[in-house]
Amino acid sequence: MLIRPKPDLTYADITPRSVYFNRREVLRAMGIAGVGLAGGKILSSLAFPGQTALATSKLSGLVKSPFSTTEKPNSIEDVTHYNNYYEFGTDKSDPAKKSQNFRTSPWSVSVEGEVAKPRKFSMDEILKLAPLEERIYRHRCVERWSIVVPWIGFSLSTLAKLVEPTSKAQYVAFQTFFDPTQMPEAKYGGIDFPYVEGLRLDEAMHPLTMLCVGMYGETLPNQDGAPVRIVVPWKYGYKSIKSIVKIRFQQKEPPTTWNRYSSEEYGFYSNVNPAVDHPRWSQATERRLGEIFRRNTLLFNGYGDQVASLYNGMDLKKYH
Ligand code: MTE
């Protein structure tokens, strides 16, 4: 079990991993390696030959989650070097290289719309809203690759309850930060920015839907959506919007980036469903990064026991 951050520690104060790493190197050179080490796991995850150290910081006080799969997580290298984050380029290797100078502090998330108590949450406030859980989730991309990630965060519903959604709130809209000067690659992305996503209210309030602030024991690397993102494990990966600055409760179904781009290919619901093909490819199988053989894709990405009842009576082909 790790230690929870002291309440007076701010998000900006948490030592960036690169600094922490350098400090360790200095200590090692002084012959006192081992002082204050958190364990070999983090150390080994740092050692990517020829790659920039991740600018992440250790999160402490993590609690295990009953929602975790027992499947083996992918390596941190897989998860941080095979990304979709179109603001930083369209190649899977682009976000790791091109997001390193992205400024994620100070940061706040505005929660607004059909709520009794709209407010802005700073990252410090978000980190203190609830115990930080490590949740090992399967994450299935519409492009037929999948990974298993030990995310860190808590149910989005914890934050939602604080703002008290009104009876008019039926959907939740999310928006990513956008700054073309920090994200010059975005102009080649082929999609509109800022990136937007949405969920029906009951989906957003489902305990599996996560407000995610970290992974592998640390804050999120920029390429994975620092400093805060949404993770919806039973839906295709594009619903899991990164680096959010706005959460809006509203009556109408919100537009979503990929649905705007091509509504035939990317529905609003986007539940993982091996029986509903993408118009250009089958969704029946997937390749887990790091494996050779393809595996069968599971309905709702294997989370059917928990979420299938949300869609009772719905035609999942029509509402894909
Ligand atoms: N969020 C933003 N802001 N921009 C993006 O391009 N890509 C989405 C989603 N969230 C994307 C985003 C897609 S297509 C996927 S598959 C997941 O992020 C990938 O998350 P990962 O890189 O952490 O695996």
Residue 20 has pLDDT above 70, yes or no: no
Nearest-angstrom CA–CA distance, 104 and 286: 33
Is the residue at 36 inside a domain? no
**pLDDT at 21 (0 to 100):** 41
Question: Is pLDDT larger for residue 13 or for residue 126?
Answer: 126
- Entry pTM: 0.87
| Largest Cα–Cα separation, the chain | 66
How close is the Cα of 86 to the center of ligand 1, in Å? Answer: 8
Q: Would you state the pLDDT for residue 54?
A: 81
Distance from the alpha carbon of residue 131 to the mean position of ligand 1, in angstroms: 25
| Residue 72, in any domain of the structure | yes
> Taking a C-beta distance cutoff of 8 angstroms, is the pair 142, 266 a contact?
yes
pLDDT band at 6 (very low <50, low <70, confident <90, very high): very low
> Mind spelling out the 3-state secondary structure of the chain?
CCCCCCCCCCHHHCCCHHHHHHHHHHHHHCCCCCCCCCCHHHHHHHCCCCCCCCCCCECCCCEECCCCCCCCCCCHHHHHHCCCCHHHCCCCCHHHHHCCCCCCCCCEEEEEECECCCEEEEHHHHHCCCCCEEEEEEEECCCCEEEEEEEEEEEHHHHHHHHCECCCCCEEEEEECCCCCCCHHHHHCCCCCCCEEEEEHHHHCCCCCEEEEEECCEECCHHHCCCCEEECCCECHHHCCCCEEEEEEECCCCCCHHHHHCCCCCCCCCECCCCCCECCECCCEEEECCCCCCEECCHHHHCHHHHHHHHCCCCCCCCC
Domain count, the chain: 1
pLDDT tens profile 134-175: 999 999 999 999 999 999 999 999 999 999 999 999 999 999
- Asked if residue 286 lies in contact with residue 262, where contact means CB atoms within 8 angstroms, the answer is no
CATH number at residue 165: 3.90.420.10
At residue 238, the pLDDT reads 98
- Using the predicted structure, report yes or no on whether residue 43 has a pLDDT greater than 80: no
Confirm whether 13 is domain-assigned. no
Residue 58 reports pLDDT greater than 50: yes
**Does the pLDDT value for residue 35 go beyond 90?**
no
What mean pLDDT comes out for the span 258-266?
Answer: 97
Q: What is the rounded distance in angstroms from the CA atom of residue 209 to the CA atom of residue 194? A: 22
Identify the pLDDT of residue 42: 32
Q: What is the mean pLDDT of residues 252-273?
A: 98
Instruction: Supply the pLDDT for residue 55.
Output: 85
Q: Which of 78, 308, 108 is nearest to 227 (CA)?
A: 108
pLDDT 10s digits, 70-120:
999 999 999 999 999 999 999 999 999 999 999 999 999 999 999 999 999
Q: Whose CA is nearest to atom 14 of ligand 1?
A: 238
220 falls within a domain:
yes
Looking at ligand 1, which residue's alpha carbon is closest to its atom 12?
Answer: 241
Domain holding 82, by residue range, is: 63-311
Residues present in the chain in total: 320
Q: Is the pLDDT of residue 11 over 80?
A: no
Mean pLDDT of 265-293: 98
The pLDDT value recorded for residue 255 is 98
Residue 228 included in any domain: yes
The answer to whether residue 320 is domain-embedded is no
Task: State which of 56, 76, 80, 85 you would mutate to test the pocket of ligand 1, scoring each by most atoms of that ligand within 8 A of its C-beta.
Answer: 85
Percent of the chain at pLDDT exceeding 70? 83
Classify residue 151: in a domain, yes or no.
yes
Does pLDDT of 293 surpass 50?
yes
User: What integer best gives the mean pLDDT of the chain?
Assistant: 88
Q: Is residue 3 domain-resident?
A: no
Determine the average pLDDT of the residues in 205-228.
Answer: 98
Q: Is the pLDDT of residue 15 over 60?
A: no
Bridge-partner residues for 90, per DSSP?
Answer: none
Which residue has the CA at smallest separation from atom 9 of ligand 1? 238
Judge contact between 88 and 80, C-beta under 8 A: no
Which of 163, 89, 153 shows the shortest CA–CA distance to 126? 153
